[in-house]
Amino acid sequence: MTTNLDPVSKVLGITAPGPFRLMSAVEKGLPLTSLDRVAHFLAPSDNKFAFRIIARATLARRRRAFATAKDRAESRLSVEEGARLARLAGVWAMAVEVWGGEEEARRFMFEAHPLMHGRRPIDVVLESELGRPIVEGVLGRLQYGSAV
């Protein structure tokens, strides 16, 4: 992996320097390894975390397709799943930067926050695209010393 990758591409483990290449990678279908990486970063001890991105049966089918090399396209994430994963990877990268480490970022992501009406940032981000700027706004306040 090259060092000029944007933080989201680094988290996803793909070579997609720049937002338009990342967009293209999502549209073509992110590999299952990206899902595995993000799940490992955010919830290393939760074997079921990946199911928040993709349904269990669908993931099992895609893993089988990948293992048998039957259909490589079938073994990638859909555009919707990839967009959700990239959204989460972007917030994760920002949280690690703001908090200075993965454990601190993980704690932030999984604890209820008063500025999110007592909801956990992870849930706000995964619920919809509208949740991302809310969580990034709180992280930005933390980064620049505003009250949160």
- CA proximity to 12, closest of 81, 90, 99: 90
Distances (CA, A) of 59 to 72, 89, 109, 110: 13, 19, 24, 23
pTM of the model: 0.87
Residue type, 101: G
CA dist., res. 148 & res. 132, Å (int): 17
Mean pLDDT of the 36-57 span: 95
Q: What is the pLDDT of residue 146?
A: 67
pLDDT digits (tens, 9 = 90+) for 80-135: 999 999 999 999 999 999 999 999 999 999 999 999 999 999 999 999 999 999 99
Dihedral pair phi/psi, residue 67, rounded to 5°: -65, -35
On the question of pLDDT at 3 being above 50, the answer is no
Q: Rounded to 10 degrees, what is the CA torsion of 89, 44, 102, 62?
A: -20
- Give mean pLDDT, residues 63-67: 82
Q: Which long-range contacts (CB under 8 A, 24 or more apart) does 110-114 make?
A: 110/43, 113/138, 113/148
Q: What is the pLDDT of residue 73?
A: 56
What was the pLDDT predicted at 35?
96
